[in-house]
A = this chain, B = another copy of it.
Amino acid sequence: MKKFVNDPQQFVPEMLRGIELANPGKLKYLPEYNLIMRADSPRDDKVSIIQGSGSGHEPAHVMAVGPGMLDAACPGDVFSAPPSDYVYETTKLLKSDKGVLHIINNYTGDRMSFDMGRELAEAEDVKVATIIVNDDVAVKDSTYTVGRRGVAGNFFVIKAVGAASERGAELEELVTLGERVNSVTRTMGMALTSCTPPAKGSPLFDLGDDEMEMGVGIHGEPGRRREKLKSANEIVDELLEAVVTDLPYNSGDEVALMINGLGGTPISELYIAYGRAHQQLTDRGVNVTRSYVGEYCTSLDMAGASLTLVKLDDELNDLLDAPAAVAVRVF
C-alpha cells in the first residue's frame, strides 16, 4: 500500500489531529467524538451548520470548517457514516438559540445516523433542521443510496448557507436556501482508477488498464457503465451532456462550473478538462461566470474527476462572493 499511513485504524484521528495543529486557535479537534469545530462556535446569533459523512473525501468536510462555511464536521471512519451518538454529541456541542442545521449527502447510512442523532438532540431541546444533498445525476439508486447520491455539488450548498448564516439568517430560511441551491446543482463523475482504503490495503475495485468507470460514486460504487478509456475531450463531453440535459441548463443561463479532482489526478489535467467544458458550454450558449478547479470532494487516491454545474442568480452570486476561510490554504 503506497500511502502515508501508520496504523490504518488511526488514519482519521491522525488526520484530524494534523488539521487542528495546522489551525491553532481557529479549529478544535475533539477526539472523544471524532469532530472538528470552529473554536468560536457556537454563537447564539448564528445558526450552527454541521456536515457529516464518511472520511476519505477530503477536503470535504473536515477541511471545510471555518468562517462562512461549516461550524463543525462530524466524520466517520473512511467511507463509513459517523456513529449516531457522535452526531448527537456534535449537535449538542453546537447548540445555538437560532438552531442547528445538518447538511447530509444522500447516503442511507449517513441519513440513518443523522436522523437518530437529531432525535436524541431534539429530545434535549436542541432545534434542528436538515438539508439533503443529492446532486449526482449518474444513477437513480445506488449501492448505498435510495435516490440520487450527494457528491461535490454539496460544496455550493455549504458555501451559500454558510454565508447566509453569518448574516443572521433563520434556520427555516437556510433550509429553503440550501434546498434551492441543491435544486439547481447537478454533478457527474468518472474514475480512471480505483482507490485504496487504508484499512483494506488494496484497491477497492478492479478497473482494467484500458478501462474507465463513467458515473462512478465517491465510494467506488458502480456508475452508468464501464467503457474503454477515451480522450479528455470525449470524457468531458460525455459528463457534460449528462449534466446539462438533466436540469436542464439552457442557452442564456448563467452557471458556475466546477471540475473536481477525485484525489489522484493532478491539477494540470483538471484544467485541461475545465477548458474543454468551458468551451462546450459557451458553444451551447451557457454563460460560465464562476469557475472552481481543484479538489473539493475526493475518493482517497482515486484518479478521476467530476463535473458540476450550478445555475446562478443574483442571490447565489452574492452568497458565493461572501468571505470564507477554511483549513486548506494555498498561499
Binds B, one of A111-119, A247-255, A294-302: A294-302
In angstroms, Cα B327 to Cα A311, docked, is 22
Q: Contact check, A268 vs B2: say whether CB atoms are below 8 A apart.
A: no
- In the complex, which residues of chain B have a beta carbon less than 8 angstroms from the beta carbon of A63? 267
A272-B21 contact given A58-B267, A267-B63, CB 8 Å threshold: no
Say whether A291 faces chain B, with CB atoms less than 8 Å apart: yes
Considering only residues 284-312 of chain A, those with a C-beta below 8 Å from chain B are: 288, 291-296, 298, 300-301, 303, 305
Check B301 against A18 for contact (C-beta < 8 Å).
no
Q: A226 within 8 Å of B by Cβ? A: no
Q: A279 an interface residue at 8 Å Cβ cutoff?
A: yes
- For the complex, what is the distance from the CA of A331 to the CA of B266, rounded to whole Å? 18
**Cβ contacts A14-32/B at 8 Å (1 or 0 each):** 1101110111000000000
Contact call B58/A21, Cβ cutoff below 8 A: no
Residues in B neighbouring A58, C-beta threshold 8 A: 266-268, 271
Residue of A64, A192, A272 with most chain B CB atoms under a 10 A cut-off: A272
Closest chain-B Cβ to A12's Cβ sits at a distance in Å of: 8
Size class of the contact patch on chain A:
35 or more
Given contacts A5-B269, A275-B18, whether A291 and B11 have CB atoms under 8 Å apart is no
| A200 at interface, CB cutoff 8 A | no
Q: In the complex, which residues of chain B have a beta carbon less than 8 angstroms from the beta carbon of A18? A: 270-276, 278, 293
**For residue A300, which residue of chain B has the nearest CB?**
B266
A199 is an interface residue with CB less than 8 A from chain B: no
Residues of B with C-beta under 8 A to A55? 268
A183 interfacial contact with B, CB 8 Å: no
Contact: A272 with B231, CB < 8 Å?
no
Residues of A1-57 at the interface with B, using a CB-CB cut-off of 8 Å, are 2-6, 11, 14-15, 17-19, 21-23, 55-56
Known: A5-B269, A291-B329, A296-B330. 11 other contacts (CB 8 A): A2-B192, A2-B229, A3-B192, A4-B235, A4-B269, A14-B271, A15-B272, A21-B274, A59-B267, A266-B298, A294-B328
